[in-house]
Amino acid sequence: MTNKMTRRKQQLKMRPSYDELTIYEPRLLELWEQVQQVADGEGFCANEHWYQKVKPEVSRLVGWETECRHPMICGCYAYDIVYEQLYALLPNCNHHGHLCR
């Protein structure tokens, strides 16, 4: 069995919580705090903020693009969990029109 397949099986067995991921990547706590403090003002777009500010940091810390220091943080499940939790913290869009930027 290849190393990739072994890692994938481990990830399927254990879908961690955000809190559990912070054990292996403590910088996720700081990122949580930063996202929680985002203020929505006139013209705020959650998608724009996510793709320009948050997603690059998430990709650097967890998921396929990260340096894998532990199997818990280097797969798609870790990325999905962090994405779901952090995006939910962002304020709603407050811009004119129905389309996000």
pLDDT in tens, 63-75: 988 887 788 888 8
Cα 98 from Cα 101, distance rounded (Å): 10
Q: How confident is the model over 91-98, as a mean pLDDT?
A: 82
Q: What pLDDT does 1 receive? A: 57
Residue 10 has pLDDT above 70, yes or no: no
Percent of the chain at pLDDT above 70? Answer: 84
Environment class of 74 (CB within 10 Å of its CB; exposed 0-12, middle 13-18, buried 19+):
buried
